[in-house]
Amino acid sequence: MKSGRRADSSEPRAQYAALPWRRAETMEIMLVSSRETRRWVLPKGWPMKGRKPHDAAAREALEEAGIDGKIAKSPVGVYRYIKRMKNGSAQPCLVTVFPFEVQRERASWPEQHERIRRWFPVDEAADAVDESDLAEVIRAFALSPAKKAKVGKRPASSKTA
């Protein structure tokens, strides 16, 4: 069985998300559209063999949002949601969220034709997501500068052209 998967689909599967942020005049949060429903979400994905959770989250940020930067090694929160699988089934997921300080937005990236990326003020980002737990994580992160101090450099091995 692969990491993060459970034999019983009613058990939550692990996912890792990046919480992309930047500080202009005020803090902003980047969200991306989901591929199927076009909801606003964080870049996230399943555990990756050989990668630590925060590194997997950074990889998803690159693939889904085309961003490079610094990922925190410590999470700032978790949230739950129901993922609709390709076979039509519903899979509960528990998502661990890692702050990601955006340093560069790429002009092209792997999923650019499948998603939209957009910067939001913190409160608008929290209001744009469907999951109330995720909205709380976004707001709490924005209020806690100590969380941003735990940012680590993104590993070179996860960078691609």
Residue 48 lies in a domain: yes
Strands 77-84 vs 90-105: parallel, antiparallel or unpaired = antiparallel
- The token pair at 146 is 């100590």
pLDDT score for 115 = 96
In a domain, 141, yes or no: yes
Residue 121's pLDDT is: 96
Q: Above 50 in pLDDT, residue 3?
A: no
Task: Quick: pLDDT tens for 58-114.
Answer: 999 999 999 999 999 999 999 999 988 888 888 999 999 999 999 999 999 999 999
| pLDDT at residue number 149 | 38
Instruction: Return mean pLDDT, the chain.
Output: 86
- Expressed as residue numbers, the domain containing 71 is 13-147
Section 136-140 average pLDDT? 96
Cβ(6)–Cβ(88) below 8 Å: no
Total domains, the chain: 1
Question: For the whole prediction, is pTM greater than 0.75?
Answer: yes
Integer angstrom CA distances of residue 70 from 99, 114, 156: 8, 24, 11
d(CA 69, CA 152): 9
Identify the CATH number of the domain in which residue 53 sits.
3.90.79.10
In a domain, 20, yes or no: yes
Measure the CA–CA gap between 37 and 34, rounded to whole angstroms. 6
